[in-house]
Amino acid sequence: MCYPGRWRRYLSPRAKFIVRLFLLLASLAFIFLGSGDYVLLRAMVRFLCPSCIGLA
Amino acid sequence: MPVLHRPGLRASSWRKISKLVAFLACNMGFSLALKTGGVIPFMYCHGCPLAAFACPIGALQHFIGLGEAPLLVAGSLILAFLLLGRSACGWLCPFGALQDLLARPGEAGARQDGRWDVKLRYLKLLILLGALSSSFALSGPTFCWVCPIGALFAGIPYLLAHPGWRPGPAFYIHMAILVLVLLLAVRIPRAWCRYLCPLGAISGCFNKVSLLGIELDEARCTRCLACLRACPMGLTSLGQIGSSPECVLCAKCLDACPSGALKATFRTGIGG
Protein backbone atom coordinates (compact mmCIF):
# COMPACT_ATOMS: atom_id res chain seq x y z
CA MET A 1 0.00 0.00 0.00
CA CYS A 2 2.48 2.58 1.05
CA TYR A 3 6.07 3.16 2.12
CA PRO A 4 8.94 0.83 1.35
CA GLY A 5 8.30 -2.89 1.41
CA ARG A 6 10.66 -3.27 4.35
CA TRP A 7 8.05 -1.61 6.55
CA ARG A 8 5.46 -4.23 5.66
CA ARG A 9 7.61 -7.08 6.90
CA TYR A 10 6.61 -8.94 10.03
CA LEU A 11 8.09 -7.58 13.24
CA SER A 12 8.61 -10.16 15.96
CA PRO A 13 7.18 -9.36 19.41
CA ARG A 14 10.69 -8.96 20.78
CA ALA A 15 11.65 -6.54 18.00
CA LYS A 16 8.47 -4.55 18.64
CA PHE A 17 9.25 -4.40 22.34
CA ILE A 18 12.77 -3.14 21.66
CA VAL A 19 11.49 -0.51 19.22
CA ARG A 20 8.83 0.62 21.70
CA LEU A 21 11.31 0.83 24.54
CA PHE A 22 13.75 2.79 22.39
CA LEU A 23 11.04 5.21 21.27
CA LEU A 24 9.78 5.66 24.82
CA LEU A 25 13.25 6.41 26.17
CA ALA A 26 14.06 8.70 23.21
CA SER A 27 10.84 10.66 23.63
CA LEU A 28 11.37 11.10 27.38
CA ALA A 29 14.96 12.20 26.80
CA PHE A 30 13.86 14.68 24.12
CA ILE A 31 11.13 16.09 26.36
CA PHE A 32 13.57 16.46 29.26
CA LEU A 33 16.31 18.05 27.15
CA GLY A 34 13.88 20.30 25.29
CA SER A 35 11.76 21.38 28.25
CA GLY A 36 13.15 24.89 27.94
CA ASP A 37 11.44 25.20 24.55
CA TYR A 38 8.06 25.29 26.27
CA VAL A 39 8.32 29.02 26.93
CA LEU A 40 9.09 29.64 23.26
CA LEU A 41 6.17 27.47 22.15
CA ARG A 42 3.80 29.23 24.54
CA ALA A 43 4.91 32.62 23.26
CA MET A 44 4.32 31.39 19.70
CA VAL A 45 0.78 30.24 20.50
CA ARG A 46 0.01 33.42 22.42
CA PHE A 47 1.27 36.02 20.01
CA LEU A 48 1.28 34.53 16.51
CA CYS A 49 -1.10 36.21 14.10
CA PRO A 50 -2.04 34.89 10.64
CA SER A 51 0.18 37.47 8.98
CA CYS A 52 3.17 35.77 10.64
CA ILE A 53 2.41 32.60 8.69
CA GLY A 54 1.86 34.27 5.38
CA LEU A 55 -1.89 34.73 5.49
CA ALA A 56 -1.70 38.45 4.95
CA MET B 1 -4.48 -7.40 26.38
CA PRO B 2 -7.46 -5.17 27.22
CA VAL B 3 -10.20 -4.98 24.60
CA LEU B 4 -11.50 -1.44 24.22
CA HIS B 5 -14.49 -2.19 22.03
CA ARG B 6 -17.60 -3.59 23.69
CA PRO B 7 -20.63 -4.94 21.81
CA GLY B 8 -23.41 -2.35 21.77
CA LEU B 9 -21.06 0.59 22.24
CA ARG B 10 -20.61 1.95 18.73
CA ALA B 11 -17.28 3.52 17.91
CA SER B 12 -19.01 6.13 15.73
CA SER B 13 -20.67 7.72 18.77
CA TRP B 14 -17.39 7.95 20.65
CA ARG B 15 -15.68 9.28 17.52
CA LYS B 16 -18.15 12.17 17.20
CA ILE B 17 -17.75 13.05 20.87
CA SER B 18 -13.95 12.94 20.73
CA LYS B 19 -13.81 15.10 17.61
CA LEU B 20 -16.08 17.68 19.24
CA VAL B 21 -14.07 17.68 22.47
CA ALA B 22 -10.79 18.00 20.52
CA PHE B 23 -12.16 20.94 18.51
CA LEU B 24 -13.37 22.70 21.66
CA ALA B 25 -10.08 22.00 23.44
CA CYS B 26 -8.12 23.49 20.52
CA ASN B 27 -10.22 26.65 20.76
CA MET B 28 -10.21 27.25 24.49
CA GLY B 29 -7.50 29.88 24.28
CA PHE B 30 -9.86 32.79 24.79
CA SER B 31 -7.57 34.16 27.49
CA LEU B 32 -3.78 34.31 27.46
CA ALA B 33 -3.58 32.02 30.50
CA LEU B 34 -5.29 29.26 28.52
CA LYS B 35 -2.91 29.52 25.58
CA THR B 36 -0.37 26.83 26.37
CA GLY B 37 2.86 25.71 24.76
CA GLY B 38 1.59 22.15 24.42
CA VAL B 39 1.86 20.40 21.07
CA ILE B 40 -1.13 18.44 19.78
CA PRO B 41 -0.75 15.23 17.73
CA PHE B 42 -2.82 16.60 14.83
CA MET B 43 -2.73 19.72 12.70
CA TYR B 44 -4.56 22.77 14.03
CA CYS B 45 -3.14 26.22 13.32
CA HIS B 46 -1.83 28.16 16.31
CA GLY B 47 -2.42 31.32 14.28
CA CYS B 48 -6.11 30.86 15.19
CA PRO B 49 -7.19 33.68 17.53
CA LEU B 50 -8.49 31.11 20.04
CA ALA B 51 -5.77 28.47 19.62
CA ALA B 52 -4.72 26.85 22.87
CA PHE B 53 -1.99 24.56 21.54
CA ALA B 54 0.81 24.61 18.99
CA CYS B 55 0.49 22.97 15.58
CA PRO B 56 3.17 20.25 15.41
CA ILE B 57 4.21 20.96 11.82
CA GLY B 58 4.23 24.73 12.43
CA ALA B 59 6.29 24.26 15.58
CA LEU B 60 8.77 21.90 13.90
CA GLN B 61 9.27 24.41 11.09
CA HIS B 62 9.60 27.25 13.57
CA PHE B 63 12.49 25.61 15.43
CA ILE B 64 14.17 24.31 12.29
CA GLY B 65 13.88 27.79 10.77
CA LEU B 66 15.66 29.17 13.83
CA GLY B 67 18.39 26.57 13.37
CA GLU B 68 17.50 24.82 16.64
CA ALA B 69 16.68 21.19 17.28
CA PRO B 70 12.93 20.85 18.00
CA LEU B 71 13.51 18.51 20.95
CA LEU B 72 10.33 19.17 22.93
CA VAL B 73 8.12 18.99 19.83
CA ALA B 74 9.80 15.80 18.59
CA GLY B 75 9.68 14.17 22.02
CA SER B 76 6.00 15.03 22.51
CA LEU B 77 5.10 13.72 19.07
CA ILE B 78 7.07 10.47 19.44
CA LEU B 79 5.40 9.81 22.81
CA ALA B 80 1.91 10.61 21.47
CA PHE B 81 2.36 8.50 18.33
CA LEU B 82 3.89 5.62 20.29
CA LEU B 83 0.74 5.54 22.41
CA LEU B 84 -1.87 6.43 19.81
CA GLY B 85 -0.40 5.60 16.41
CA ARG B 86 -2.26 7.53 13.74
CA SER B 87 -5.53 7.47 15.67
CA ALA B 88 -5.46 11.23 16.31
CA CYS B 89 -6.21 11.63 12.58
CA GLY B 90 -9.32 9.50 12.91
CA TRP B 91 -10.53 10.57 16.32
CA LEU B 92 -9.33 14.11 17.02
CA CYS B 93 -8.29 16.06 13.91
CA PRO B 94 -10.88 18.76 13.05
CA PHE B 95 -9.79 18.81 9.41
CA GLY B 96 -10.23 15.05 9.20
CA ALA B 97 -13.69 15.46 10.73
CA LEU B 98 -14.55 18.08 8.11
CA GLN B 99 -13.45 15.73 5.34
CA ASP B 100 -15.62 12.96 6.82
CA LEU B 101 -18.57 15.36 6.69
CA LEU B 102 -17.82 16.27 3.08
CA ALA B 103 -17.48 12.69 1.83
CA ARG B 104 -20.51 11.69 -0.18
CA PRO B 105 -22.65 8.94 1.37
CA GLY B 106 -21.59 5.58 -0.01
CA GLU B 107 -18.18 6.91 -1.00
CA ALA B 108 -16.51 5.94 2.27
CA GLY B 109 -14.74 2.88 0.99
CA ALA B 110 -14.28 4.13 -2.54
CA ARG B 111 -10.93 2.86 -3.76
CA GLN B 112 -9.09 4.87 -6.32
CA ASP B 113 -7.29 3.56 -9.33
CA GLY B 114 -4.56 1.46 -7.71
CA ARG B 115 -1.55 2.65 -9.65
CA TRP B 116 -1.73 6.38 -9.06
CA ASP B 117 -3.33 5.99 -5.65
CA VAL B 118 -0.30 4.12 -4.29
CA LYS B 119 2.16 6.54 -5.89
CA LEU B 120 0.32 9.63 -4.67
CA ARG B 121 0.43 8.38 -1.08
CA TYR B 122 4.19 9.03 -1.11
CA LEU B 123 3.45 12.69 -1.83
CA LYS B 124 2.90 13.46 1.85
CA LEU B 125 6.42 12.24 2.62
CA LEU B 126 7.81 14.56 -0.04
CA ILE B 127 5.72 17.44 1.35
CA LEU B 128 7.08 16.76 4.85
CA LEU B 129 10.69 16.67 3.66
CA GLY B 130 10.13 19.73 1.46
CA ALA B 131 8.53 21.68 4.32
CA LEU B 132 11.30 20.94 6.80
CA SER B 133 14.18 21.47 4.40
CA SER B 134 12.75 24.68 2.95
CA SER B 135 12.07 26.00 6.46
CA PHE B 136 15.73 25.49 7.25
CA ALA B 137 16.84 27.07 3.98
CA LEU B 138 14.48 30.05 4.12
CA SER B 139 14.34 30.46 7.93
CA GLY B 140 10.56 30.52 7.97
CA PRO B 141 7.53 28.25 8.22
CA THR B 142 7.24 27.65 4.48
CA PHE B 143 4.48 25.03 4.62
CA CYS B 144 2.35 27.43 6.71
CA TRP B 145 2.43 29.82 3.75
CA VAL B 146 0.28 27.40 1.76
CA CYS B 147 -1.40 25.32 4.49
CA PRO B 148 -5.17 24.92 3.95
CA ILE B 149 -5.70 24.09 7.63
CA GLY B 150 -4.20 27.46 8.55
CA ALA B 151 -6.48 29.10 6.00
CA LEU B 152 -9.56 27.50 7.54
CA PHE B 153 -8.78 27.68 11.24
CA ALA B 154 -6.66 30.86 11.36
CA GLY B 155 -7.31 32.95 8.24
CA ILE B 156 -11.11 32.88 8.21
CA PRO B 157 -11.56 33.35 12.01
CA TYR B 158 -9.04 36.21 11.94
CA LEU B 159 -10.97 37.88 9.12
CA LEU B 160 -14.25 37.47 11.06
CA ALA B 161 -12.67 38.81 14.26
CA HIS B 162 -11.13 41.80 12.47
CA PRO B 163 -13.66 43.03 9.87
CA GLY B 164 -11.46 46.00 9.01
CA TRP B 165 -8.54 43.77 8.03
CA ARG B 166 -7.76 43.88 4.33
CA PRO B 167 -6.35 40.50 3.34
CA GLY B 168 -3.53 40.42 0.82
CA PRO B 169 -2.94 38.12 -2.15
CA ALA B 170 -1.43 35.44 0.17
CA PHE B 171 -4.81 35.10 1.87
CA TYR B 172 -6.55 34.40 -1.42
CA ILE B 173 -3.88 31.89 -2.43
CA HIS B 174 -4.51 30.12 0.89
CA MET B 175 -8.25 30.15 0.23
CA ALA B 176 -7.80 28.76 -3.27
CA ILE B 177 -5.71 25.87 -1.89
CA LEU B 178 -8.30 25.26 0.83
CA VAL B 179 -11.13 25.12 -1.72
CA LEU B 180 -9.14 22.74 -3.93
CA VAL B 181 -8.39 20.40 -1.02
CA LEU B 182 -12.02 20.42 0.12
CA LEU B 183 -13.25 19.73 -3.42
CA LEU B 184 -10.79 16.86 -3.60
CA ALA B 185 -12.13 15.55 -0.28
CA VAL B 186 -15.64 15.48 -1.75
CA ARG B 187 -14.41 13.31 -4.60
CA ILE B 188 -11.94 11.19 -2.64
CA PRO B 189 -12.67 10.49 1.05
CA ARG B 190 -9.98 11.96 3.30
CA ALA B 191 -7.92 13.02 0.30
CA TRP B 192 -5.82 15.35 2.46
CA CYS B 193 -5.00 12.54 4.91
CA ARG B 194 -4.26 10.07 2.09
CA TYR B 195 -1.98 12.15 -0.07
CA LEU B 196 -1.01 15.48 1.44
CA CYS B 197 -0.85 15.64 5.24
CA PRO B 198 2.80 15.95 6.34
CA LEU B 199 1.95 14.98 9.92
CA GLY B 200 0.21 11.81 8.71
CA ALA B 201 3.48 10.87 7.01
CA ILE B 202 5.14 10.88 10.43
CA SER B 203 2.38 9.36 12.56
CA GLY B 204 1.67 6.56 10.06
CA CYS B 205 5.17 5.17 10.62
CA PHE B 206 4.25 4.46 14.24
CA ASN B 207 1.17 2.33 13.49
CA LYS B 208 3.24 -0.84 13.43
CA VAL B 209 4.51 -0.38 16.98
CA SER B 210 1.89 1.89 18.59
CA LEU B 211 0.23 0.61 21.74
CA LEU B 212 -3.26 1.47 20.48
CA GLY B 213 -4.29 -0.65 17.55
CA ILE B 214 -6.96 -2.70 15.83
CA GLU B 215 -6.69 -6.46 15.71
CA LEU B 216 -8.43 -9.04 13.57
CA ASP B 217 -9.71 -12.30 15.00
CA GLU B 218 -9.07 -14.60 12.04
CA ALA B 219 -11.34 -17.31 13.46
CA ARG B 220 -14.38 -15.02 13.53
CA CYS B 221 -13.71 -13.22 10.24
CA THR B 222 -16.03 -14.32 7.41
CA ARG B 223 -14.03 -12.44 4.72
CA CYS B 224 -17.11 -10.39 3.78
CA LEU B 225 -14.79 -7.32 3.47
CA ALA B 226 -17.43 -4.95 4.87
CA CYS B 227 -14.58 -3.40 6.87
CA LEU B 228 -12.65 -2.45 3.74
CA ARG B 229 -15.78 -1.04 2.08
CA ALA B 230 -16.29 1.22 5.13
CA CYS B 231 -12.65 2.36 5.27
CA PRO B 232 -12.31 6.09 4.44
CA MET B 233 -8.59 5.66 3.78
CA GLY B 234 -9.14 3.11 1.04
CA LEU B 235 -7.23 0.20 2.59
CA THR B 236 -7.23 -2.77 0.27
CA SER B 237 -6.48 -5.82 2.43
CA LEU B 238 -7.37 -7.11 5.87
CA GLY B 239 -3.71 -7.24 6.90
CA GLN B 240 -3.44 -3.46 6.56
CA ILE B 241 -6.09 -2.72 9.18
CA GLY B 242 -4.45 -1.30 12.26
CA SER B 243 -0.84 -1.63 11.11
CA SER B 244 -0.57 0.05 7.71
CA PRO B 245 0.83 3.61 7.77
CA GLU B 246 -2.36 4.57 5.93
CA CYS B 247 -4.75 3.36 8.66
CA VAL B 248 -6.06 6.24 10.79
CA LEU B 249 -7.52 3.80 13.35
CA CYS B 250 -10.90 5.50 13.01
CA ALA B 251 -12.61 2.19 13.84
CA LYS B 252 -15.26 2.55 11.13
CA CYS B 253 -14.31 -1.02 10.27
CA LEU B 254 -15.32 -2.09 13.78
CA ASP B 255 -18.79 -0.66 13.27
CA ALA B 256 -19.05 -2.25 9.82
CA CYS B 257 -17.92 -5.75 10.83
CA PRO B 258 -21.02 -7.97 11.15
CA SER B 259 -19.20 -10.77 12.97
CA GLY B 260 -17.30 -8.67 15.52
CA ALA B 261 -13.98 -9.99 14.29
CA LEU B 262 -12.23 -6.65 14.69
CA LYS B 263 -11.46 -5.12 18.04
CA ALA B 264 -9.57 -2.10 19.29
CA THR B 265 -6.77 -3.09 21.62
CA PHE B 266 -4.23 -1.42 23.81
CA ARG B 267 -1.12 -3.56 23.56
CA THR B 268 0.41 -3.40 26.98
CA GLY B 269 2.44 -6.62 26.88
CA ILE B 270 5.64 -7.47 25.07
CA GLY B 271 3.85 -9.46 22.37
CA GLY B 272 1.54 -8.17 19.66
Number of H helices and E strands in chain A, helices first, is: 3, 0
**B115 with B157, same domain?**
yes
Which of B144, B182, B31, B185 lies closest to A50, judged by CA?
Answer: B144
CB contacts, 8 Å: B144 with chain A? 53-54
Where does B6-70 have alpha helices with state H? 11-26, 56-66
Residue B22 structural domain: 11-205
CB under 8 Å to B187, separation ≥6 — which residues?
Answer: none
- How far does B208 lie from chain A, in Å, by closest CA? 8
Q: Is residue B4 part of a domain?
A: no
ipTM reported for the complex surpasses 0.90: no
Check whether B124 has a pLDDT greater than 70. Answer: yes
pTM, full prediction:
0.89
Decide if B145 and A54 are in contact by the 8 Å CB cutoff. Answer: yes
Answer whether B185 touches A (CB < 8 Å).
no
C-alpha span between B48 and B58 (Å, rounded)? 12
**B59 with B157, same domain?**
yes
pLDDT tens, residue by residue, B11-67: 788 899 999 999 999 999 988 889 999 999 999 999 888 999 999 999 999 999 999
Q: Of B205, B220, B255, which residue is a domain's last?
A: B205
Where does B139-195 have alpha helices with state H? 148-150, 156-161, 169-187, 191
Q: Is residue B6 part of a domain?
A: no
Decide if A34 and B46 are in contact by the 8 Å CB cutoff. Answer: no
**B40 with B148, same domain?**
yes
CB contacts, 8 Å: A14 with chain B? 270
Decide if B165 and A13 are in contact by the 8 Å CB cutoff. Answer: no
CB under 8 Å to B117, separation ≥6 — which residues?
Answer: B111, B194, B234
Question: pLDDT band at residue A2, thresholds of 50, 70 and 90?
Answer: very low
Check whether B112 has a pLDDT greater than 80. Answer: no
CB contacts, 8 Å: B158 with chain A? 49-50, 55
Check whether B249 has a pLDDT greater than 50. Answer: yes
